[in-house]
Amino acid sequence: MSDTQPPPEHWHRLHPLSPLVRGGRATIAVFIILIPIAYGRDSLTHETPQLGIIGLIVLAGVVSWLVTRWRIEDDDLRIETGLFRRQSLRFPLAQVQAIDVVRPGLARLFRVAELRLRMAGSSGATARLAYVAEHEVEPLRDQLLALARGARHEEVAPPPAGELEPVRQEEHVLAVVPTGPLVASILLENWWLVVISVGLLVGLAVSPHTVAGLLAGGGFVWALSMATFVWRRFNQQYRLTVAEGPDGLHLRGGLVALTAEVIRPGRVQAVKLVEPFLWRPLGWCRLEVDVAGRQRRKGEGEAQRSELRALIPVGKRSLGVELVDRLLPDRPRELSRPPRRAFWKSPLRFPALSWGRSDTCVATTSGRLRRVTCWVPLEKVQSLRHVQGPVQRRLSLASVHVDTAGRTVHATLRDRDAAEAGRALADLTDLARAARRRPALT
């Protein structure tokens, strides 16, 4: 509809092909139904019900496209949608946590892309513009990001920090995930899957009947779901590239469905470094960042699932640590171990437990078989909890939980000496208060 950048009062429509792409698998199904009809095997009268259903679906898609429009109003993105239940959604751009560009396979075929704005707040919605023409997506994202940084859309207002020009600056690639290790890492992390698959194959060779029975009795569904799980991870993380740009961290990757994401600086709530058990001999790790936002609601598209972003799905530990340094320059260097008697409380975790803090950041390590290291910048701490259970009381131990707005990072100072935990609670409260007062550094 709109090829040039129109004035901001103008309403935009989504790309005309959106209903087709949004239908996704349904579209493919429709084509499959249509093929025999097109070949004219049967007379058309036989196919009337199918044609009717297809007609309805197409109509619904077109109508939903017709009633959806969006525009940028001052500092908000406004989306209006719905025929019977009209919805007018406003998304304040200042609260944008991250912006994703998602391109599923079908969307790539039609050269369109989805723009997804992740907002703060646990109940807040995600603004989705599905779909926008491919060549418009990048400028639009840059414009939204610029607005989110506080620049006006006229671009007349002087940039406050000096480097807020909307001009795309050269980004600096930090890491690219190699394909071989990615495959190996997925298989190693889900080693039990491999074991079961191999078992099934061997079983197939020995006694095909038993295996066939197993597969028929629900095993097939299970196998299929596992296969899609592995495939989705591979698809998502294939050649994932992390780059540092002026407007934040850029993440790009994907095999069939391409995603590109920008995480604004200072929006990272927590960083987590995971070392699954079987990766450890190889010195591999996965680095994840947590951005504020809500939990995935039921019934949302599969693509929504890419919530927690792995900055590096798999990589050398040294690379992960280097990236952590970049994200949190003032991360604590020295971690202290819990007292020896903590072994009786958590024997499996004991070897991994430790914590440390600097003036702006707290780090904890834990994990039974897999090692998990969490870093939380203190200005992002939401609340602190001091917990002492019955066993801990007997051993005079206590834990301090650091709550963040993220979804999967649970930083816990587990099983510390009771006096130390009390001190840590007081210290962290004071430091977090000081950190909140300080203007954001990054």
Chain residues in the site for another protein (CB under 8 A):
95, 97, 120-122, 267, 269, 292, 295, 379-390, 393, 401, 403-407, 410, 425, 429, 432-433, 436
And the tokens for 297? 């609601």
In the complex, what is the shortest distance from the CB of residue 422 to another protein, in angstroms, rounded to a whole number? 9
Euclidean distance between CA atoms 9 and 15, whole angstroms: 19
Q: Euclidean distance between the first and final Cα of the chain, in Å?
A: 38
Q: Are 432 and 424 contacting, i.e. CB atoms less than 8 angstroms apart?
A: no
Q: From the CB of 426, what's the least distance to another protein, in Å?
A: 9
Cβ closer to another protein: 50 or 95? 95
Nearest distance, CB of residue 392 and another protein, angstroms: 9
Beta bridge partners of 112: 133
Q: How far apart are CA 281 and CA 284, in angstroms?
A: 8
Asked if 143 contacts 12 with a C-beta cutoff of 8 angstroms, the reply is: no
Pick between residue 6 and residue 121 the one whose CB is nearest to another protein. 121
By beta-carbon proximity to another protein, the closer residue of 232 and 386 is: 386
Cβ nearer to another protein, comparing 12 with 380: 380
Measured from the CB atom, the residue of 121 and 329 that comes closer to another protein is 121
Least Å distance between CB 229 and another protein?
A: 25
Query: Environment class of residue 253 by beta-carbon count within 10 Å: exposed (0-12), middle (13-18) or buried (19+)?
Result: buried
Toward another protein, which CB reaches closer, 27 or 388?
A: 388
Q: Using CA atoms, how far apart are residues 204 and 61, in angstroms rounded to an integer?
A: 45
User: For residues 26 and 225, what is the distance between their CA atoms, to the nearest angstrom?
Assistant: 19
CB of 119 to another protein, least distance (A): 10
Nearer to another protein, 211 or 289 (CB): 289
Give DSSP secondary structure letters for 155-181.
S-SPPTTS---SSPPPPEEEEE--HHH
Least distance between another protein and beta carbon 388 (Å): 5
CA–CA dist 240, 179 (Å, integer): 9
Q: Single out the residue of 338, 358, 348, 352 nearest to residue 400, CA to CA.
A: 338
Q: How far is CA 418 from CA 402, 424, 426, 428, 430, in A?
A: 16, 10, 13, 15, 19
Which residue, 257 or 400, is less far from another protein as judged by CB?
Answer: 400
Using the minimum distance from each CB to another protein, give the nearer residue, 22 or 407: 407
Angle at 364 between CA 360 and CA 365, to 5 degrees: 150
Report in angstroms how near the CB of residue 424 gets to another protein at its nearest: 11
373 strand-pairing partners: 273, 365
Least Å from the CB of residue 405 to another protein? 4
In terms of DSSP bridges, do strands 397-404 and 411-417 run parallel, antiparallel, or are they unpaired? antiparallel
Write out the H or E segment, with its range, that includes residue 344. Answer: helix 342-345
Q: Shortest distance, CB of residue 384 to another protein, whole angstroms?
A: 4
Quick one: 311 or 381, whose CB is closer to another protein?
381
Per-position b or e across 108-133, b if 16+ CB within 10 A of its CB = bebebbbbbbbbbeeebbbbbbbbbb
Cβ proximity to another protein, 403 vs 417, nearer residue:
403
- Residue 44 CB, shortest distance to another protein, in Å, is 56
- Helix, strand or coil, per DSSP, at residue 279: helix
The candidate with the shortest Cα–Cα distance to 365, out of 407, 411, 329, is 411
Q: Is 38 helix (H, G, I), strand (E, B) or coil?
A: helix
The least CB distance from residue 262 to another protein, in Å, is 17
